[in-house]
């Protein structure tokens, strides 16, 4: 749930990066990557503040602390990279098409339902398993959840998450390079 | 040591501002034109306001240019283009020197931050390092005399205190080229004398200044050159007194028709 909160906050919040800084953008030649960086960093700091909750969960749930928990470090790095790319692309797309943020807010509920957050992937078999196999949020949630629960992470999840991170960075970089100069006309 | 030449040059500057979402609107092209003041241009089924049209200016050290024109004439757009906020569509802008832009007061101000946080945020925007930020913050805090209020939320400030903070922030950023919209005012009568003295020093330190204003008094006080703008074009460029006279001559038929006194 914590991992989900982090990613969904990026999806919804990215749309307002430029509109909430419209005054700055219209009055100063602002370094736009700085706005994306500060938003993404802010969301990560919120996520890190939630991690101490796990101390209570470990104490109450009797979860053994083990070496697998160290995998949380690469997981955070991968998700941070995904978020940078997503924020760079979505911030531009939403500032151009303002209605998109409302669609994203509605869509986020649907994505949460089809992502194994409140249900286990083993509960869905056969072709229906595509619901989570084709869902990028499944991999993002898994690479955070497994280390936090002390479970051995799966290499496949890390490979797919890394590919998502690379694709997101490429799309974000392209969107930013191609369209960021027009943001001042759209805010 | 060689002294760097400071200049600001625009040649053939054109700027088209896209107006999104008007393709299927009910209001007509004529009503849109009245609303934005500029020249409406259609290209590929999209509408644009021509904010700047073939603008040519070269300013050198010592030049103080006043931009004169009605609302929507292109004064603020020109300031934004000069500072690099608006990317011009065609033409060229050459700049040598550090630019400081002051278009509106209190940008980025949040009622929950305090004066120190506000000043630090302004330094981040300017790209200052930690030492520069600390020096700047100390200098401005000393000037605005907020006392203990400097560490209290801005929502607890009086309007005079807010005005002091916002206006004083701008006049402590050193620059070679100053681009300013509608002047700066501290608002507080007790503070204004001290503020005006600092403002004079600040304006004098800038090698080039471009000021857009509707106040002829303000333009005469601070500028030595004037540019009259209408629909994104520079109609007249010359000495400030002549520019104001030219602008008044353009306005005369309108004011006469509407029985309005020109003033100044």
B215 belongs to a structural domain: no
Task: Among B17, B87, B101, select the one facing A28 at the smallest CB separation.
Answer: B101
| Residues of chain A with C-beta less than 8 angstroms from the C-beta of B88 | none
Short-list B243, B189, B199, B242, CA closest to B222: B199
In a domain, B176, yes or no: yes
Asked whether the beta carbons of residue A29 and residue B83 sit closer than 8 angstroms, the reply is yes
Residue A66 has pLDDT above 60, yes or no: yes
Look over chain B and give the mean of its residue pLDDT values, rounded to a whole number.
Answer: 83
The pLDDT of residue A2 is 76
State residue B27's pLDDT score. Answer: 52
From CA B205, how far away is CA B185, in angstroms rounded?
18
pLDDT digits (tens, 9 = 90+) for B102-128: 887 777 788 899 999 999 988 988 888
B173 and B124 belong to one structural domain: yes
> So what's the pLDDT on residue A105?
86
| B55 and B129 part of one domain | no
Shared-domain flag, residues B186 and B148: yes
Using the predicted structure, report yes or no on whether residue A17 has a pLDDT greater than 60.
yes
Same domain, B16 and B93: yes
One domain for residues B127 and B174: yes
How many domains does chain B contain in total? 2
User: Quick check: A98 pLDDT over 80?
Assistant: yes
Q: Name every chain B residue with its beta carbon within 8 A of the beta carbon of A29.
A: 83-85, 101
Q: How far apart are CA B92 and CA A149, in angstroms?
A: 59
The pLDDT of residue B264: 42
Query: Whose CA is closest to A148, among A44, A52, A78, A60?
Result: A52
Q: Which of B18, B103, B125 sits opposite A30 (nearest CB)?
A: B125
Question: Is residue B48 one of the residues assigned to a domain?
Answer: yes
Residue B189 within a domain? yes
B40 and B90 in a single domain? The answer is: yes
Q: Report the pLDDT averaged over residues B7-12.
A: 89
Starting at the edge strand found earlier in the chain, the sheet holding B39-43 runs B39-43, B46-60, B7-19, B90-96
Our CA dihedral for A116, A122, A128, A130, rounded to 10 degrees, sits at 60
Partner B contacted by A48 (CB < 8 A)? no
Residue B133 lies in a domain: yes
Chain B residue with minimal CA distance to A181? B87
Look at residue B51 and tell me if it is in a domain.
Answer: yes
pLDDT of the residue at A4: 79
What confidence score (pLDDT) does residue A55 get?
A: 82
Is B187 inside a domain boundary? yes
| Stretch A22-44: mean pLDDT | 89
**Which runs of E-coded beta strand occur in chain B?**
7-19, 39-43, 46-60, 64-68, 90-96, 99-102, 177-181, 208-212, 225-230, 233-239
* Cβ–Cβ below 8 Å for B85 and A24: no
Are A177 and A95 in contact, with CB atoms under 8 Å apart? no
**pLDDT tens sequence across A103-119:** 888 888 888 888 888 88
What does the block give as tokens for B95? 């700049």
pLDDT at A123: 84
Give whole-number Cα distances, A183 to A180, B42, B99, B119, in Å. Answer: 5, 20, 21, 25
Q: For B23-37, what is the mean pLDDT?
A: 55
- In this complex, the residue of A25, A27, A185 whose CB is nearest that of residue B17 is A185
Range of the domain at B134: 115-206
Residues of A in contact with B124 (CB under 8 A): 34
Could you tell me the CA-to-CA distances from B103 to A39, A158, B78, B207 in Å, in that order?
Answer: 25, 48, 11, 18
- B190 within a domain of the structure (yes/no): yes
> Which of B88, B107, B173 is most worth mutating to test chain A (most A CB atoms within 10 A of its CB)?
B107
């Amino acid at each position: 749930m914590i991992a989900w909160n982090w990613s969904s906050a990026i999806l919804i919040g990215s749309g307002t990066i430029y509109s909430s800084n419209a005054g700055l953008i219209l009055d100063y030649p602002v370094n736009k990557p700085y706005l994306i960086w500060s938003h993404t960093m802010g969301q990560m700091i919120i996520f890190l503040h939630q991690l101490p909750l796990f101390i209570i969960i470990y104490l109450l749930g009797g979860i053994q602390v083990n070496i697998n928990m160290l995998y949380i470090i690469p997981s955070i790095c991968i998700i941070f990279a995904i978020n940078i790319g997503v924020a760079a692309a979505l911030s531009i797309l939403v500032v151009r098409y303002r209605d998109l943020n409302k669609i994203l807010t509605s869509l986020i509920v649907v994505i949460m339902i089809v992502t194994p957050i409140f249900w286990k992937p083993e509960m869905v078999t056969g072709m229906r398993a595509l619901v989570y196999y084709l869902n990028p949020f499944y991999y993002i949630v898994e690479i955070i959840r497994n280390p936090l629960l002390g479970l051995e992470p799966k290499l496949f999840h890390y490979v797919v998450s890394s590919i998502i991170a690379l694709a997101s960075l490429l799309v974000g970089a392209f969107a930013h390079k191609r369209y960021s100069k027009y943001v001042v006309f759209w805010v | 040591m060689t002294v760097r030449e400071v200049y600001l040059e625009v040649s053939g500057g054109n700027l088209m501002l896209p107006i999104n979402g008007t393709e299927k609107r009910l209001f007509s092209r004529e009503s849109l034109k009245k609303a934005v003041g500029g020249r409406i241009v259609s290209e590929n089924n999209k509408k644009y306001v021509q904010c700047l049209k073939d603008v040519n200016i070269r300013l050198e050290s010592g030049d103080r240019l006043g931009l004169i024109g009605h609302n929507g004439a292109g004064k603020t757009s020109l300031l934004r283009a000069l500072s690099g906020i608006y990317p011009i569509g065609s033409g060229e802008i050459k700049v040598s020197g550090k630019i400081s832009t002051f278009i509106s007061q209190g940008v980025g101000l949040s009622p929950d931050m305090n004066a120190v946080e506000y000043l630090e945020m302004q330094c981040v925007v300017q790209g200052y390092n930690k030492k520069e930020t600390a020096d700047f913050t100390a200098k401005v805090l000393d000037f605005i005399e907020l006392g203990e209020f400097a560490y209290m939320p801005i929502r607890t400030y009086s309007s005079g205190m807010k005005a002091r903070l916002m206006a004083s922030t701008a006049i402590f950023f050193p620059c070679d080229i100053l681009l300013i919209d509608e002047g700066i005012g501290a608002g507080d009568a007790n503070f204004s004398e001290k503020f005006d003295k600092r403002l004079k020093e600040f304006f004098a330190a800038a090698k080039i200044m471009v000021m857009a204003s509707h106040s002829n008094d303000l333009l005469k006080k601070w500028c030595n050159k004037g540019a009259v703008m209408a629909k994104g074009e520079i109609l007249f460029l010359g000495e400030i007194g002549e520019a104001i006279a030219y602008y008044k001559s353009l306005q005369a038929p309108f004011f006469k028709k509407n029985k309005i006194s020109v003033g100044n």
